[in-house]
Every structure is written in C-alpha cells, then in structure tokens.
Amino acid sequence: MIGAGRHPVRPPGPLSPGLPGLAAVWIVFTLANHRFVSTENLSALAGQVAPLILVAAGVVVVLLAGEIDLSVAEVAGLAATVAAVLAFRDGWPSPPAVAAGVAVGAGAGLLQGLAVTRLGVPSFVVTLAGLLVWQGTTLALLGGSGNVDIPPGDWMARLAGGRRAAGRAAVAGPGAGGDGRPAHRPAPDPLRTPPGGRRR
C-alpha cells in the first residue's frame, strides 16, 4: 500500500513482541505460587526494578546513537557509594548526599562523553577504561569494609527498601567478605515459606 508521499504504509503491529512472553511468565509464576501477585511481592519487585529501569533508559539513548557504554554499572555504583559515604560516614544529610552522588555520576558520564565526541576516542575504549577507573574509585571510597551500613530509620534506607547498600564493585571485590564473596545481607524473599511455619 502506497501513501500520498509514495512511502509504503505498514499495517499496525503489536505494541511489543515481548508482551506475550511477559504475560506467559506472569501466568506460569502465578500458577506456581499464589503469592507471586501478592501486594508484598509486587511492591518488592517494583523496588528492585526501578533502579534498573532508570539506568536502562539512559543506555537506550547511547545505543540508539550507535555507541556503547560498558561502564554504566560502575558509574551507578560509584554514585551510590558517594551518596552513602557522604551520608553515613561524613555526616551529611541524606538528600544533599544523594544529590552529590547524582552529580558525581553525571560528571563521570560527561567526562566519558566528551572523550568520545571531542577527542574521537571510540566509546568502547573510553567506557572500558572508565569501567576499571570507576570500579577502583568505588573500592577506594568504601575502604577495607567493602560496604556502608544504612540505619533502618533513615530517609535513604526507606528509599532503598531498608536493605544494606553497597557498591556493585565492593560486593564483588576483595575485602567485601574476606574471600571476595558478597558482604551484604540478602533481602528477605516474600515467596519463601518461613522455617517451621505456614505461608501467610
């Protein structure tokens, strides 16, 4: 079919090819465990995917421009580490500490972007080097403990769902658990049956 501008007009397709698969996953897990669609579990899922969605939205722009960013996880970890260190080691109020972390992440992205656009260095090379630099910076900020404990009643703790916050590099790096294993406490699983008890 040819339109007025002599361009072929495609018939409208489905909203997204992944939606049927996503619906199938939800149906299977709902049938396997009725608590999958409970308010507690949906709230936990929303809290877990929100940071990933924010990071992925920025990466999509980079990919649409034909570039690549290998350092996105380390930049996000660095920003979170800066915020946590300022708030709980240096005594900053949580909102300014979070703002400082966001500024550090934006500055790291700006520095890498300028290296690509102004100096003409391939984004693969720039972000691969950035991955190592930001990971090392995160480890240096965290120190030997490899993590930062957030008090349960703090504003930042409520924002993070009350779980212990630690940089991605620190969780996998030396000093986190003495043998490279994660030092953070696992979040409670809302689908797990308590030992010796019944599902609520």
What value, to the nearest 5°, has the Cα angle with vertex 105 and ends 172 and 173?
10
Residue 13's pLDDT is what?
A: 56
Residue 43's pLDDT is what?
A: 86
Which of 148, 157, 129 has the alpha carbon at shortest distance from 69?
Answer: 129
- Token pair, residue 32, equals 């396997």
Residue 8's pLDDT is what?
A: 58
Residue 67's pLDDT is what?
A: 93
Residue 191's pLDDT is what?
A: 52
Cβ neighbours of residue 105 under 8 Å, at least 6 residues apart? Answer: 75, 76, 78, 79
Residue 28's pLDDT is what?
A: 94
Structural contact between residues 35 and 191, judged by C-beta atoms closer than 8 angstroms: yes
pLDDT in tens, the chain (200 residues): 444 555 555 555 556 777 888 889 889 999 999 888 888 888 888 888 888 888 899 899 999 999 999 999 999 999 999 999 999 989 898 889 999 999 999 999 999 999 999 999 999 999 999 999 999 999 999 988 788 887 777 777 776 654 444 443 333 333 444 343 334 444 455 555 455 555 44
Residue ranges of the alpha helices (H) in 89-154?
94-117, 123-142
- Using CA atoms, how far apart are residues 126 and 112, in angstroms rounded to an integer? 6
In the block, tokens 């969605």 appear at: 53
Residue 21's pLDDT is what?
A: 86
3-state class (DSSP) for residue 166: coil
Residue 81's pLDDT is what?
A: 93
Q: What is the 3-state secondary structure (H, E, C) of 64-91?
A: HCCCCCCCHHHHHHHHHHHHHHHHHCCC
Residue 20's pLDDT is what?
A: 86
- Token pair, residue 46, equals 């929303």
